Structure 1
Amino acid sequence: MDSMEIDDNIYMKNLTMEGLISQDFQTRKQPSRCVTACLGLLCAALLAGNLGQIIYYETISRPVSADPTQANYSTLTQGDQLQSSCDALNAERKQLEARLSDLTKEKDQLQQSYSSSTTERDEFKATFNDLKNERDQLQASYNTLKQESDQLHTSYNEMQRNFEGLKTNQNNLTASNDQLQTNYSNLKREKDKLQILCITLITNRDLLQRNYSLLKKSKDQLERNYNTLSISKNHLETSYNSLWKDKEQLQSLYKNLRGEKEQLQTNYSSLAADRDQLEKKIDKVRGKPCQTGWRKFDISCYFVSAVKKNWTLGRQDCFTKGADLVVVDSRDEQGFINALLQSGQNAWIGLTDILQEGTWMWVDGTPVTTTYWQPGQPNSFSGNQDCGEIVPKSSGVGEWNDDGCFAEQIWICEK
């Protein structure tokens, strides 16, 4: 019993330290000691009652004395005393029995309370073990969450660095865009100046042409009057030589102006082409979405026709769509347009040597540097194959072939 009480006290102490129950629960075991003391007192009272009954029976059973009167009187006196004692003992016994009954009931109640407390203790102990296990699980979950939090923090820092890098790239692209816009504005102003200069030169050219015509008429008139004006021959010859020199100077000036005009026209065409390319690049850099039916790759949009036409008509169709036949700039682009076609479905591309046989150029004027010709191509069969086409392949990036520009097949536009 003592060892059990010690273990219970230790357990109650542990529960108290865990904050589950209070110290008042330990006092529930004290009534059991009171019941033990009361039962001891009741046994002592019953023993005293038994001793009183023994003395009573021994007194009655003693032999009668020689004097009957004295003996009867003594017997009656003793009997009255014993009766009184017996009544008192019986009353006390009844009280003790009632007290014993109450104590028994109290003991049973205490026993039930003890059993209930023991059950409650076991439940608290099980609950404590469950809470301890739950605490361990929560600790493990906390450690896991802490590791995940550290990983997320590391990922956040990495994303922050990437964001700063993207922001720097955006700033650089914005600065490049501003620079291109400035260059475009400068080129536009220069173009306007060149247009004004060109108009001025044309006006001067027309004036010189009229002057030249007048001089020529004067020369003819002088030639007709040469025979009739022999007196003024020397003067006319001098005038004629002077006019001839002026004419030669005017012709030289006219040739120079014409050369300058052609040079300006060439420069204007070059600037216009550069302007168009810059506008296309600006539109591509701004990332405009592709129209319906067009496919996106890198910064360009591609369109595969559904009908077949010759190379020239196919290119004109691209013009109507604000585009031109595709110009292949990289192996990735070659692989992309190869994937747009089905097997056996050749398509026109922006490749030609119409301007000079054997010198292949792209439609935007750039020379061909990287090629994907089929073996033995281009061969300009019968000397009449001046347009390039792509031959799709299931593996690789496809190949090129030269064909007659009059052949009808599908084409690929790029813008």
Structure 2
Amino acid sequence: MMGFELDDSLKTYNPGKESHRTVTWLKERPFRAAAVCLGVLCVVLLTGIIIVAGHHNHAAVEQPTPSCNLIGEQVQLGTRCNLTDLRREQTRNKNVTKERDQLRITCTNLIQEQDLLGTSNKYLTKEMNQLQTINNNLTQERDLLQTSNNNLSEEMYQLQTINNNLTQERDLLQTSNKNLTEAMYQLQTINNNVTLERDQLKELQRLSDGGGCLAGWQPHGASCYFLSAEKKSWNASRQDCQDKDADLVVIHSEEEQNFINNFCWSVWIGLHDMESESEWKWVDGSPMKLSLWHPGEPNNVGNEDCAELMPESKTWNDIPCSWERHWVCKSVKRN
């Protein structure tokens, strides 16, 4: 009726066996289910109204009025009974027709709503498919990121392992370097002892030759002079001389000055004013009697408390004691 067609799933509906599938169908297609239910409701209402109307018409035709069955009263009451029944049936028919028209309008509205719901369902299905596609793409991106994160974590662990191995190698090398340094110091001590013994032997040899000076020292007058091959500060230079049982050179004559000039280097001499400014004296405590200062010196520019001998001008110059120069040691000849 009314051009409705039931969905195949409703035609074959079995409450005993297909309840789970029907519930699933209703959850997955809510708009379609609502439209079908409304259509079925419309058909049921129309069917009920038509059946009720037919029943009343049939009853009106087939059931005679007891008062009208009498032959004697047929003429008197026939017209009145027929008019009353006719009016009653017309009223019922009018009501049924009105209800039918209302149901038709309701069905028309339901059909329109069904069409709207179908269109909406179609758009929602399309949107759901699009969202499903987006969800699938996001899932793939998440899986790719997870894979990338796993790879980076593995690389990080590998680098950490390499770093730990390098740290262990570094510690081993530091330990080895420390051991080698200690061994070097031990060898240096041994070498110094051997060098000292060699110098002592040379001294004995020099003394046996009658020169009176150790090997590497130059004799002049009653003294021996040693010129360093390296440079040090004034204090370090004096300490080296004292380690050799000597001291920085003390110059008492121009003839001795000329002898030292032959060394051709600017050298420390044993002259300073560290104890009292401008009060120059020699390392042996004697005052400065001979003055061979360069013109304008000493000027104490920059805290200059130690003296050097400049061979170019054969004069003295005051400079800071921290500067490095060659030095000349002086000792007495040994018989």
Which category describes the TM-score, using the shorter chain as reference length? Answer: 0.3 to 0.5
Given the two structures, how large is their TM-score scaled by the length of structure 2?
0.42
Given the two structures, how large is their TM-score scaled by the length of structure 1?
0.35
